[in-house]
Chain A
Amino acid sequence: MEWKEILTRLIKNKLSLFGLIIILFFVLVAVFAPYLAPPRSPEDAYEIPRAGWQVEPQPPREGYLFGTAQGSYDIFYGMVWGTRTAFRIGVIVVGLSSLFGIIIGTLSAYYGGIIDEFFMRITDVFMSIPFLVAAMVLTTILGKGLDNVMIALVTFGWMGTARLMRSQVLEIKNEEFVQASIALGASDTRIIFKHIIANCIFPVLIQAFMRMGSMVITASALSFLGVGAPEGYADWGQMITFARDWILGGQGSALKYWYTVVIPGTAIMLFSLSWNLIGDAFRDILDPKLN
């Protein structure tokens, strides 16, 4: 199936169109972040500015569109620059872990035998520690911070892709066109890149779409658990951490500080929802019988 046709059908499907629009919106926010929320100093743009030294969150008002969070951090600023953080985490983590997964899965299935056994047992071992706990342990040991969160997520995030890729390659390996090019004496690299990977990439791509959302959720969960972004760093998970002590509200109203959790929560939810919608529609296009 051609790329152009896939894109047309993604746009024609209402749900994936919604997803595409939301993602496009987030991309625009990320690109124009310096104009939407000009940083006080360009060097540390990811440092959320503080409106003052008040501990208590303050509702939306002029100059602070979304209000301020605990410690007077500007929520609007955090959301805008946090979009960049979300994309950075998603693209880097999903990109690298998919790459490892593709390499390991392809090698396993293509060469088979002892190589397959070796890689698959390693995969089993890595899958034997609950993902979130494993990521938490590694981040704790490497030290808090977003870079280490990303290292941890990549380290424990490649196995799903590897298994998927392996089963795909196993299927395609015995197809006639692959057998034909083996018979014609094509080199392993040529067969792997030209025939196998090119024909297995779509399911992996669908999985990658789905993981864009879940990886950003996991990264923000790590921030929420206190091992992610340092305090004051523009990150959606961090914004929700600020809300944690205020969700029960204060005198007079239990919903007094709703904006501290609803605004960043909606952003994370929409981000992940959009990728899932696109991934879903993508899968339906490629495999209509599962619709």
Chain B
Amino acid sequence: MINYIIRRFLILPFILFGVTILVFSMIMMLGPYQRLSTYINDPAQLKGQDMDKLISKYGLDDPWYEQYSRWIGGVVHGDFGWSESAGQPVTEAIFSRFPATLELALFAVIPVVMGGIWLGVLSAVHHNQKFDHIIRIISTIGWSFPTFVFGLLVLMIFYGVLGWFPPGRLSADAAAIIRSAEFVRYTGLNVLDGILNLEINVVFDAFRHLIGPIVTLAIVWWSYILRITRSSMLETLRKDYIRTARAKGVAEKFVINKHARRNALIPVVTVAGPMVLGLLGGVVIVESVFGYRGIGQYAAQAAQQLDYSGILGVAMYFSFLLILINLIVDVSYAVIDPRIRLE
């Protein structure tokens, strides 16, 4: 296992280097004038200056490797330039929205994973019965539903018609409480801060705004986890040791919960990577549909307004996050499943 983990860590620098090269080569597709925007930290710098002078000052016509080393120097220090669409430096824009996206992702992952596993196991246990067929059909439909269409329908029905789950992140009253002097921002997560400050109205309001985006994100990924769990569980239930347990007279409940489910869940760990990958994309769509001010909405807004530094910054931060999560998943998989260590 140590070898596997060491190898996994040795690859890491290559991946990080590769991602920066990939993003940098996309930057280099832009002309020097467009690229100027990713180097400037404040539009005031442009006043009274000749653009060409700035281009040679920042070395935007230098060979690419010199530009790369300069750019990577900035990236290491978290300097991604000025974001036109946010009106502030990219890193600041991203970090100010980070708690919102984190809150959404955390609340979405919990029902997705729990519900997906639960239904997946049930579906496998009731293999080829009515329940299984219904779950399979619903999950195929959920999997085929475009996130943005589903989000718009949720908004139309649950906000337009019923008025339950409004778009945005907070309504005006709750926002006023949060901005007031007595309210301490411990974490930046509205629900958690509301609980810590004993402001039940804030908790309730924050939840109300989260439900639409969560359901929309969950519907797609729930089907995904369900499918993986189901097929893994079906395979496990056919194993010899399960037959042995049943032959010994172990109660069916124990066979499923103790013997089968635990082992069936091992492969489910591996989908955590792809799921985070999809969630990070899904967040962009869901946040824009629901006008939820997070990193995803910022990315969409930056792309729409051709704010190159903004969108590239989001791409870099998202990839760092993804690389980190993939690393955690791979290492923990090696710890959970002894078989992988031998490969």
Contact = CB atoms under 8 A, between A and B. Distances in A.
Contact of B156 (A138, A221, A226, A261): A261
A128 B146 CA distance: 23
B63 to A, nearest CB: 20
Given A121-B14, A133-B280, A141 B308 contact: yes
A265 B146 contact: yes
Contacts of B160: 247-249, 254-255
Contacts of A33: none
B215 to A, nearest CB: 16
A138 B21 CA distance: 14
Interface stretch (B40-48, B52-60, B115-123, B315-323): B315-323
B74 interface: no
Interface in B197-249: 231, 234-235, 238
Interface in B105-133: 128
B15 A225 contact: no
Contacts of A224: 148, 285, 288
A125 interface: yes
A137 interface: yes
A30 interface: no
Given A124-B18, A127-B277, A137 B146 contact: no
A127 B282 CA distance: 16
Contact of B26 (A15, A128, A141, A240): A141
A64 interface: no
B156 A255 contact: yes
Contact of B322 (A128, A221, A247): A128
Interface of A: 15, 121-122, 124-134, 136-142, 213, 217, 220-221, 224-227, 240, 243-244, 247-249, 254-255, 258, 261-262, 264-265, 268-269, 272-273, 276-277, 280, 289-291
A249 B278 CA distance: 31
B161 interface: yes
A137 B159 contact: no
B143 interface: yes
Contact of A129 (B137, B148, B278, B319): B319
B342 interface: no
B175 interface: no
Contacts of B152: 240, 243-244, 247, 261, 265
Interface stretch (B90-98, B255-263, B298-306): B298-306
B304 A225 contact: yes
A265 B149 contact: yes
Is the interface on chain B under 10, 10 to 19, 20 to 34, or 35 or more residues?
A: 35 or more
Given A140-B303, A225-B303, A247 B284 contact: no
A140 B300 CA distance: 10
The 3 lowest CB-CB distance pairs between A and B, nearest first, are A132-B281, A125-B18, A254-B160
Nearest to B281: A132
B277 A130 contact: yes
B145 interface: yes
Contact of A227 (B21, B235, B303, B308): B303
Contacts of B128: 291
B308 A276 contact: no
A151 B23 CA distance: 16
A247 B156 CA distance: 5
Secondary structure dominating the interface of B: helix
Given A129-B318, A137-B26, A265-B149, A248 B11 contact: no
B75 to A, nearest CB: 14
B178 interface: no
A280 B140 contact: yes
A128 B153 contact: no
A121 B315 CA distance: 19
A137 B147 contact: no
30 contacts: A121-B15, A125-B19, A125-B21, A125-B22, A128-B323, A129-B315, A130-B322, A131-B281, A132-B280, A133-B299, A136-B300, A137-B303, A141-B30, A221-B285, A225-B284, A225-B300, A247-B152, A247-B155, A247-B156, A247-B160, A254-B161, A261-B153, A262-B153, A264-B149, A265-B153, A269-B146, A276-B143, A276-B144, A277-B140, A290-B234
B312 A128 contact: no
Contacts of A139: 303
Contacts of B29: 141-142
A273 B144 contact: yes
Contacts of A128: 15, 18-19, 319, 322-323, 326
Contacts of A125: 14-15, 18-19, 21-22
B46 to A, nearest CB: 21
Nearest to B19: A128
A291 B234 CA distance: 9
Contact of B18 (A121, A132, A265): A121
B315 A133 contact: yes
B36 interface: no
Given A254-B161, A290-B234, A140 B18 contact: no
Given A130-B322, A141-B30, A248-B155, A124 B11 contact: yes
Given A226-B303, A227-B303, A268 B315 contact: no
Contacts of A213: 144
- Which of B21, B155, B300 has the largest number of chain A CB atoms within 10 A? B300
Contacts of B149: 240, 261, 264-265, 268-269
B141 interface: yes
